[in-house]
Amino acid sequence: MTDPFTSPGAKAPPKPFAPTGGRREVRSFVLRQGRFTEAQQRAFDTLWPRFGLDYTGRLRDFDTAFGRRAPRVLEIGFGNGEALRFAAAQDPARDYIGIEVHAPGVGRLLNALAEDGADHVRLYHHDAVEVLRNEIADGALDEVRIYFPDPWHKKRHNKRRLIQPAFAALLAEKLRPGGRLHAATDWQDYAEQMWDVLDATPGLRNRAGPRGHVPRPPWRPQTHFETRGRKLGHGVWDLLYDKPGMGNRE
């Protein structure tokens, strides 16, 4: 298959992810962009000014970005945007921020948000660690969601997994007191690592108790892939962590 970003006459997305300078870090992703359709290109061309947030490396004024002050939910690695779209449609009282490095998924979600008129959603096409570290203030988030991150199942690649101690500590800093972290995986080995890391992270408390998980909550839709996996006997682990403080969400 021809790569639409490198073939003659091709046009790359106008807001591509590009790693910033500085020391090199182990990343939890590889940029395999896949097929980028004309509709997704048009979404970047026409809808990015409405729904997109360009990475600046400076603290973001989200009240200005959304035109209001509201609790904010961040989804990291939203893929094709299915869960983010569903959640935003059910929860218009809160603002939603999505981060994804793969352009086709961003383009697809841009089109879906326009179809829904979901003006309480904004998207980054950038590395989540850099966005969290540099653009989101401590205590600014009501909730963080990380659904089915790349398991990097080969042992030699485990170091690339997103859920690591330093990243978990960063998440805890960005949550408000009473905020919530929701992670889900269909790899038991990754669930074990999540427990090892998150249960030990100061400022996070496992709602189900040490090494506990909960049934899929109503705000996370069950995907077609997940349904098929369950029919085959595959497990799914939903982990909920609260940041102790006033007004924990249920």
pLDDT in tens, 16-60: 444 444 444 655 445 555 577 888 889 999 999 999 999 999 999
Q: Which pLDDT does position 6 carry in this prediction? A: 35
Three-state DSSP state, 226: helix
| pLDDT tens readout for residues 130-157 | 999 999 999 999 999 999 999 866 666 4
C-beta separation of 40 from 104 below 8 A: yes
Q: Which pLDDT does position 245 carry in this prediction? A: 87
- Is residue 105 within a helix (H) or strand (E), and if so which, with residue range? helix 103-116
Q: Which pLDDT does position 235 carry in this prediction? A: 92
C-beta separation of 97 from 168 below 8 A: no
- Of the listed 91, 119, 150, 199, which one is catalytic? 150
Which amino acid is present at 188? Q
Instruction: Give 10-residue mean pLDDT values along the chain (250 residues).
Output: 37 46 50 71 94 98 98 96 97 98 94 97 97 98 96 69 96 98 94 97 98 97 82 90 78
Give the domain ranges of the chain: 38-242
Residue in 19, 56, 6, 30 with CA at minimum distance from that of residue 150? 30
Cα 74 to its chain centre, rounded Å, is 6
Question: What CATH code is assigned to 38-242?
Answer: 3.40.50.150
Is 127 one of the annotated active-site residues of the chain? no
- Is residue 239 within a helix (H) or strand (E), and if so which, with residue range? strand 237-242
- Is residue 181 within a helix (H) or strand (E), and if so which, with residue range? strand 175-185
